[in-house]
Structure 1
Amino acid sequence: MASVLTIRGGKALRGTVSVRGAKNLVPKAMVAALLGDTPSTLRNVPEIKDVDVVTSLLRIHGVDVTKDPETGDLYMDPTKAKSATSAEINTHAGDSRIPILFCGPLIHAIGEAFIPDLGGCKIGDRPIDYHLQVLRQFGAVVDKTPDGILITAPNGLKGAKLELPYPSVGATEQVLLTATRAEGITELKGAAVEPEILDLIAVLQKMGAIITVQTDRVIRIEGVPALRGYNHRALPDRNESASWASAALVTRGDIYVEGADQQDLTAFLNTFRKVGGEFEVDDDGIRFYHPGGELNPLVLETDVHPGFMTDWQQPLVVALTQADGVSIVHETVYENRFGFTEALRRMGATIQVHRECLGSIPCRFGQRNFLHSAVISGPSKLSGADIDVPDLRGGFSHLIAALAAEGTSRVTGIEIINRGYERFEEKLRGLGADFDVEAL
């Protein structure tokens, strides 16, 4: 049900929040359960919309999915996997792009896969071309239908030599989920090596896969005829951790993020400290806080891991509106990720977006008419406004801007935030945020 948040800003967020398994790993690990011939157990699972979507998609394909009511652990039994109708898939997929990752596992399990027209956050093109090209190179036959795309492999899937033009996380996941049971050896050059990718490799290795991560973004997979189920605890969500860190900075607050992992946040923590934020690390999490005084402007470029992650950029831009001076942010991963700044400008922020690459190295979006660089001047006094959430990270960024602003803001489209932030309204209340929720 659609709802609106009425936020009364100007109050520092203080307290503790917990983060669980990563949104960018958990749904993919759930899909991997289809590859096993025995049940799998996934632990540290967050209560987010993407998990609900994959649970529904697995169930309509015959996978028995049960959830432990006390721990939240998922138990998935794929032994009765079956085909699903296009209408069922369309109904349960909604605007999610996850169905594309079902293709390899479904072909191995039942001989075919169907994917509907795909949605997702409107932050860039993110075409599925990479995925379809990958599947064709494994020997899959791709047929367009009135409802979507039907993928089969009459002669089975075979190992292949692949090279990605850009280290796409989704395409790398596609290769891993397809190659583990393909006949022969697969070599992938130009692979993504994000922590969530390495955790997915850990899941597949537990199932019996043989996967080697080599230097220079090369992954080698030796196909095996069968895999078993796994028991795995998902790594914590570094993107949610970084979002709460930025919330502490923007509102001049103090937030302890239970479950945050320093190792996977190195690039963020360095930048957080350069801006003027402070943090303390212990065995259970990280305390992020504004130490007082002015924040510092900086020049920042997003990049694939181990660089500064694109999902960290939007919440941090809100903090940069409060820095004393001019900051420059060059987005090199998604070409349309600065659409969220329009609402910040209406709230009083001084932000200019540019087509040029305002970074040290020209990126693939240069000279292509994309507004992918931003110049932020601060500090700016933010005032409440009416805001409609454009995408997941942009939406969270709008929330923390509204929480820092003077006056009242009305935020709609908050359902998108549920895709990646577990019980975010409950967590905001626990941090002292002043807001009401009402149905539209």
Structure 2
Amino acid sequence: MTDDVLLVHGGTPISGEIRVRGAKNLVPKAMVAALLGSAPSRLRNVPDIRDVRVVRGLLQLHGVTVHSGEEPGELVMDPSRVERANVTDIDAHAGSSRIPILLCGPLLHRLGHAFIPGLGGCDIGGRPVDFHFDVLRKFGATIDKREDGQYLTAPQRLRGCKIQLPYPSVGSTEQVLLTAVLAEGVTELSNAAVEPEIEDLICVLQKMGAIISVDTDRTIRVTGVDRLNGYTHRALPDRLEAASWASAALATGGSVYVRGASQREMMTFLNTFRKVGGEFEVDEDGIRFWHPGGPLKAIALETDVHPGFQTDWQQPLVVALTQASGLSIVHETVYESRLGFTSALNQMGGHIQLYRECLGGTPCRFGQRNFLHSAVVSGPTKLEAADLVIPDLRGGFSYLIAALAAQGTSRVHGIDLINRGYENFEEKLVSLGARVERPRAS
């Protein structure tokens, strides 16, 4: 098949301006939150990505009216007629995404039952959904596991509870928030994720009438209320997409102005970008990233939950590190299999060695579990074009960056996976001077 392949003619620095809209890791969750309201909600700065389309379809299957608002990138969602959806229809919509599991709490509140099919998502390591179900059981839900998925019921109103996360999981924190806001009593969540997208989701829920406090020790307390209203909210910009374009500028020796990028949520990335040798300039509308010339510098990098260096920033930046002078050390502490994408970079001429040991400053939870979760990147190396098969969302964009930096023409397979999180990425590449095309059908 040629319709899921992109030809990338590399070796040319990218240069120009693109725009990022609302964060992929916030917008679909804010759309789910609209299910909780008793009135319509209005969400602005919504990107046209696959995850948004999946959630829009799921909401419509459950009786939510969804239509475009007055300004571009605006959605209006009316949940006044929420109803049970057909199991087959849910399965057809949800197979490529993990987000449907977040509908559980809202649907249990609205209907008293929910169905969740088998879940998809990126294959980058263990992302167990069992913990979501354990959380829902603590709230009082009953779960019946069958061949086609999970059937959940709540014979009585869900009740607040105390929950201690073993790891500050973003998905688990979202599940608790979306369930606790209408549960009876107080919910206390310890060791919660506090990413900017979580904070923005809390802002959405507070606008709806929720009572949520966040302590400095990663404890979130939610006092359940009887009723929530709709909201009007502008989603925070996608800091992960912005960093991907920044890494592309660095790896190709180019310059990209990312309109819509925000400094506050990217401070940790910006510090690292500067340590590698990249330059950036912040103004009120966005951030310009560029390679100033001269050699890039090798660094030691360790991913972590916010406010640490985000795991989604790691893969694109590793491509740029293949062009840095010396040995860079990368310690991945969030997803145990996220460094698997480097085998393709080695195929292109990179020198990246993976290790099971923790090569960062501190041991992590993967250190004794036989995972290749540390890397040593030796550079600079000249990258050559190759046939590439996209493994996951961020790894896929990283392959695009590598193909742009390489000499020759690469064939990148599975390219449509990138549509999950990058809006109009092909048009953006072309606007930056990249030479990309879909192959002609033979």
- Residue number in structure 2 paired with 1:228: 229
Alignment of 1:247-258 (within 5 A): 247-258=248-259
Structure 1: distance between partners of 2:153 and 2:284: 47
- Residue number in structure 2 paired with 1:128: 129
For residues 248-292 of structure 1, what are the alpha-carbon distances to aligned partners after superposition, in whole Å with 9 as ceiling and x for unaligned? 000000000000000000100000000000000000000000000
Any conservation in 1 of the 2:95–2:117 contact (CA below 8 Å)?
no
Alignment of 1:239-278 (within 5 A): 239-278=240-279
Task: Quote the offset at 1:77 in angstroms.
Answer: 0.4
- Residue number in structure 2 paired with 1:309: 310
Structure 2: distance between partners of 1:299 and 1:155: 52
Any conservation in 1 of the 2:160–2:185 contact (CA below 8 Å)?
yes
- Residue number in structure 1 paired with 2:88: 87
- Residue number in structure 1 paired with 2:141: 140
Percent sequence identity over matched residues?
68
Judging changes above 3 Å, is the alpha-carbon distance between structure 1 residues 296 and 371 closer, same or farther for their aligned structure 2 residues?
Answer: same
| Counterpart AA for 2:398 | S
Any conservation in 1 of the 2:187–2:221 contact (CA below 8 Å)?
yes
For residues 389-425 of structure 1, what are the alpha-carbon distances to aligned partners after superposition, in whole Å with 9 as ceiling and x for unaligned? 1000000000010001001100010111000000000
Any conservation in 2 of the 1:43–1:72 contact (CA below 8 Å)?
yes
Judging changes above 3 Å, is the alpha-carbon distance between structure 1 residues 439 and 423 closer, same or farther for their aligned structure 2 residues?
Answer: farther
- List runs of 5+ in structure 2 lacking aligned partners: none
Any conservation in 1 of the 2:3–2:438 contact (CA below 8 Å)?
no
Structure 2: distance between partners of 1:241 and 1:386: 26
For residues 209-234 of structure 1, what are the alpha-carbon distances to aligned partners after superposition, in whole Å with 9 as ceiling and x for unaligned? 00000121000000000100000000
- List runs of 5+ in structure 1 lacking aligned partners: none
Task: Quote the offset at 1:360 in angstroms.
Answer: 1.0
Alignment of 1:94-133 (within 5 A): 94-133=95-134
- For the residue of structure 1 that corresponds to 2:294, the secondary structure is coil
| Counterpart AA for 1:341 | T
Structure 1: distance between partners of 2:33 and 2:398: 32
Task: Quote the offset at 1:367 in angstroms.
Answer: 1.6
- Of the structure 1 ranges 316-325 and 81-90, higher mean CA displacement relative to structure 2 is found in 81-90
Structure 1: distance between partners of 2:70 and 2:227: 31
Structure 2: distance between partners of 1:112 and 1:14: 51
Structure 2: distance between partners of 1:25 and 1:439: 37
- Residue number in structure 1 paired with 2:379: 378
| Counterpart AA for 2:262 | D
| Counterpart AA for 1:208 | G
- Residue number in structure 1 paired with 2:323: 322
| Counterpart AA for 1:368 | R
Structure 2: distance between partners of 1:329 and 1:439: 39
For residues 305-354 of structure 1, what are the alpha-carbon distances to aligned partners after superposition, in whole Å with 9 as ceiling and x for unaligned? 00000000000000000000000000000000011111100000000011
| Counterpart AA for 1:335 | E
- For the residue of structure 2 that corresponds to 1:338, the secondary structure is helix
Alignment of 1:390-401 (within 5 A): 390-401=391-402
Structure 2: distance between partners of 1:99 and 1:3: 25
Moved over 6 A (4+): none
User: What is the aligned-residue RMSD (CA, Å)?
Assistant: 1.0
| Counterpart AA for 1:233 | R
| Aligned residue pairs, count | 440
Alignment of 1:162-173 (within 5 A): 162-173=163-174
- Residue number in structure 2 paired with 1:219: 220
Structure 2: distance between partners of 1:72 and 1:103: 26
Any conservation in 2 of the 1:193–1:217 contact (CA below 8 Å)?
yes
- Residue number in structure 1 paired with 2:185: 184
For residues 88-127 of structure 1, what are the alpha-carbon distances to aligned partners after superposition, in whole Å with 9 as ceiling and x for unaligned? 1100112200110000000011111110011100001101
| Counterpart AA for 2:26 | L
Structure 1: distance between partners of 2:33 and 2:440: 37
Structure 1: distance between partners of 2:191 and 2:134: 15
| Counterpart AA for 2:377 | I
For residues 126-167 of structure 1, what are the alpha-carbon distances to aligned partners after superposition, in whole Å with 9 as ceiling and x for unaligned? 010221111011011111012100111112200001110000
